[in-house]
Structure 1
């Protein structure tokens, strides 16, 4: 699946950002904009991408609009848990970044409310929730982030198959996050379910790989750093995270993809239900969907594929047409996530290694 061309659209965010607005509920439950009220206030973002990406985004939005914006960096599972715990008095206004499997779980729990940004029309339809609960801001492919020096010491080739990760020589040499906390790791789990034909088969593969896993990290980006430091041979991350670490000096890292097919993420943005400043939160979403906002990512080493067709294409971004992708069903993944991660906890993560 490659980038899909779409016609450039006149972006209406600037008028919204400069003119300000207030929001009141409409008859269908979505928010309606009052263009005459001031924007003002402050917002807090639950941010699921890299820390420097989050910082650059909120700083640019504040500079552009004068709205105070802050963020808390959270993995997907943490974000849903925090939003659910504070459902009566939400601490966040927007969720920005992280795989939309988690956004679907949050939607089903009543933690998000629909908002169809005027800037969403330019985003390809497969990167948007049909009911307006989230819109995609970037796309990334799951891959292997390997340390060539460690592989050489072990006498193991760069992995190009999921079965390669089951090699006994890689015992304690694979790093992955925990699918209960990490959207990246849940993508890994759901990829196995998809490519192998069912939950039982997917869990069986994860149980086999468990024997080679050093530890399950909380954050989905951590395995790339662990591999980069030479603590393991292979980390399972979205490939753009591995490229970021390469660019930051971890030159032993190499990116590869499984020939049988791999999963991918659509990184989303959504309005948190009960936001204390819905007008500013909507303005942030509108802004985040523009090409200018999305172009901030590569300036801080985040090389995801961008969903706005007018955004810049960096040569360090993966070409999805060159990667074999599984038929990743985001709606099915979201629906299955609570029960499937509970089974992973009970049947795999807690199990002794052979």
Structure 2
């Protein structure tokens, strides 16, 4: 009887010891370059599948880079999720990212990932010219299908694009023009274009809403963002591509150097490369091409093989980012 009593008294302590011996799942902070609706849906799915709690902050790509740079000595976030890879290239050069080769990276073609493991592509999207049908009819223009169209006098004060210092979209535009035209010609073009620009926004998607509401005539932005706005009710939007050629982004995911929750960060990156994770975006009305070879891209997605794209050099764009942005800022000011 005494032995039985002793055993019963020991059970709670034994259970507590077992409980303490189990590794608790940590939390994760993620800086997000995706649309807020896409980010929320993805994080909800990840939390449900893994039990890892995630907090996130949504910012434009240049803002994420600046944030990670400011927190370099004491990182708060572990993962950078979404946004053009050329900004990841710059972050890699500055020692702000750390490499991780995911077990799922074999699903991603080589052209969509960093060979040293610092970032991996999760989607692809192309730059387009997005115009307002009603405005075009009012001024007697056809939808622009050339970069040169945007220099016409009718476009004065009616072109909207983002600021490449904060926007990954706008930097993709800048790097596209330089790769397409050569640097000197591209900056001569940008100087002329500046005379027609209504405003430079912080976010790359805002110009699309401006055009959709008739505040601007045309926006330079990602085609998939414009398609999202069209589906949401901005039916006057027309999406065209410049005949000279256009560039594209590889939206990426990567781990912050010194990630405070490294194991959880690895699990998140593994998950983000899966077919199931990548297909969540189209459920929320996001229409990028997907990089996982087994994932099914949205039917509405703009395939690079169907438009005239340049051979966009992500590595060069990332290495040249600071210099080109500084030159652009001097030009427009």
* Residue in 2 that maps onto 1:80: 65
1:270 aligns with 2:254: yes
| Aligned mates of 1:333, 1:308 — CA distance in 2 | 23
Unaligned runs of 5+ in 1: 1-35
| Aligned mates of 1:172, 1:208 — CA distance in 2 | 12
| Aligned mates of 2:206, 2:126 — CA distance in 1 | 16
Equivalences for 1:186-205 in 2 at 5 Å? 186-197=171-182, 199-205=183-189
* Residue in 2 that maps onto 1:93: 78
User: Based on CA coordinates, which of the two structures has the bigger radius of gyration?
Assistant: 2
Q: Comparing both structures, which one devotes a greater share of its residues to helix?
A: 2
> Residue 37 of structure 1: CA displacement?
8.3
| Aligned mates of 1:266, 1:260 — CA distance in 2 | 21
Q: Secondary structure at the match of 1:242?
A: helix
* Residue in 2 that maps onto 1:258: 242
Residue deviations 1:291-311 (CA, integer Å, cap 9, x gap): 000000000111000001111
> Residue 71 of structure 1: CA displacement?
1.1
Residue deviations 1:275-320 (CA, integer Å, cap 9, x gap): 1100001100000000000000000111000001111232211121
* Residue in 1 that maps onto 2:204: 220
Q: Is the 8 A contact 1:189 1:203 kept in 2?
A: no
Q: Secondary structure at the match of 2:199?
A: strand
Q: Is the 8 A contact 1:47 1:97 kept in 2?
A: yes
1:172 aligns with 2:157: yes
For residue 35 of structure 2, the aligned residue among 45, 50, 71 is 50
| Aligned mates of 1:309, 1:276 — CA distance in 2 | 31
| Aligned mates of 2:325, 2:83 — CA distance in 1 | 17
* Residue in 2 that maps onto 1:331: 315
1:152 aligns with 2:137: yes
Q: Is the 8 A contact 2:172 2:247 kept in 1?
A: yes
Q: Is the 8 A contact 1:102 1:334 kept in 2?
A: yes
Residue deviations 1:202-240 (CA, integer Å, cap 9, x gap): 111111110111000001111111111111111111100
> Residue 38 of structure 1: CA displacement?
3.9
* Residue in 1 that maps onto 2:282: 298
Residue deviations 1:154-181 (CA, integer Å, cap 9, x gap): 2111000000111110101110001111
TM-score, normalised to structure 2's length?
0.92
Q: CA RMSD in A?
A: 1.2
1:107 aligns with 2:92: yes
* Residue in 2 that maps onto 1:342: 326
Alignment CA distance shift 1:139-1:240 (3 Å): same
* Residue in 2 that maps onto 1:239: 223
Q: Secondary structure at the match of 2:29?
A: strand
Residue deviations 1:46-75 (CA, integer Å, cap 9, x gap): 111111111111111111111011211111
1:70 aligns with 2:70: no
* Residue in 2 that maps onto 1:32: none
* Residue in 2 that maps onto 1:131: 116
Alignment CA distance shift 1:39-1:338 (3 Å): farther
| Aligned mates of 1:127, 1:38 — CA distance in 2 | 35
1:59 aligns with 2:44: yes
| Aligned mates of 1:71, 1:237 — CA distance in 2 | 25
Q: Secondary structure at the match of 1:315?
A: coil
| Aligned mates of 1:68, 1:258 — CA distance in 2 | 43
| Aligned mates of 1:64, 1:39 — CA distance in 2 | 15
| Aligned mates of 1:58, 1:160 — CA distance in 2 | 38
| Aligned mates of 1:160, 1:231 — CA distance in 2 | 21
1:248 aligns with 2:232: yes
1:161 aligns with 2:128: no
* Residue in 2 that maps onto 1:286: 270
Q: Is the 8 A contact 2:163 2:170 kept in 1?
A: yes
